[in-house]
Amino acid sequence: MSKPITIIDANDSTARQSLIELWSFRELISILALRDIKVRYKQTALGVAWAVIQPVFMMAIFTLLFGRLAKIPSDGIPYPVFVFSGLVVWNFFSASISSCANSLVGSQAMISKVYFPRIIIPLATIGVGFVDFMIASMVLLIIMAIYGLVPQVALILLPIFALGIFISVLGIGLWLAAITVTYRDFRFVVPFMLQLWMYVTPVIYPVSFIPQDYRWLMYLNPVTGWVSGVRSVFLGTPIDWLACTSSLVISLILLLIGVRYFVKAEKRFADVI
């Protein structure tokens, strides 16, 4: 059996080589994701309950402030259900973005000591967000049941929307992870950016709340389609396909930009980190 030949030179590896290599390291992705999931609630008294407590309390506060006091409409859906369905998506998105962004800087030792495709590190962090997303989805079903709402057949589309969220997280997250290696400023930018971002995403208000003339602005936000889409598949309301298509297109463009930037920056990681 002849041994595989490796060539190391100053050139970038081709997309095909990178994908083959990524495939050969696929087990590492799942092992790192599993590590993060296992470690997440270690040495906490409440454990996984935190994945439930956080969104439920946010829901309570938002319902009180925006539902009761500010009387923001919710397209005829009980406000707690409405806002919780938005939070399910938003929390997955924002938690994954921020863990992606910090992932490389947090793995300094590994990056400067061992070789494997660097993209694995940010990729694996999304696993934790996904588990929380699944838990929150279960909780949403319970809250819906409390309000006498029954999930519709459309719920089988949920995995497709989860994939959509994953694509937008990956595009933005890879770019942020790579740039944080050089400019640690982004450790301050990211939380701040995400905070503002939530308010321009239809989490606490429906898209219909925005005047018709400005609605196109909402569609430029890659998360809009996923928030309104997931809400629709849970509650069986008509899916806003325009929002979903535009989110998908924008997410794919961001993914392309993110991956290209990451691959270009990757060579420097071990020297700069």
List of residues contacting other proteins (CB under 8 A): 2-10, 27-28, 31-32, 35, 38-39, 42-43, 109-116, 182-185, 187, 267, 270-272
When the beta carbons of 33 and 167 are compared against other proteins, the nearer one is: 33
Residue 5 CB, shortest distance to other proteins, in Å, is: 6
Q: What are phi and psi of 240, to 5 degrees?
A: -80, 85
Taking the C-alpha atoms of residue 133 and residue 247, their distance in angstroms, rounded to an integer, is: 19
Query: Closest CB to other proteins among 27 and 213?
Result: 27
Ramachandran angles phi, psi of 149, nearest 5°: -100, 135
Identity of the residue numbered 244? C
Nearer to other proteins, 21 or 60 (CB): 21
Query: Based on CB atoms, which residue is closest to other proteins, 116 or 197?
Result: 116
Instruction: Measure the CA–CA gap between 115 and 98, rounded to whole angstroms.
Output: 24
Q: In terms of CB distance, is 69 or 109 closer to other proteins?
A: 109
CB of 176 to other proteins, least distance (A): 15
Pick between residue 33 and residue 87 the one whose CB is nearest to other proteins: 33
The H or E element containing residue 37 is: helix 26-40
> What is the amino acid identity at position 57?
F
CA torsion angle 158 251 83 206 (round to 10): -110
Please give the Cα distance from 234 to 142 (Å, whole number): 12
Q: What is the dihedral of CA 238, 243, 245, 247, to 10 degrees?
A: -130
**Cβ 3 to other proteins shortest distance, Å:** 4
What are 25's two structure tokens? Answer: 């390291």
Smallest distance, Å, CB 116 to other proteins?
A: 7
SS3 117: coil
Q: How far is the CB of 240 from other proteins (least distance, A)?
A: 41
For the CB of residue 165, give the shortest distance to other proteins in the complex, in Å: 27
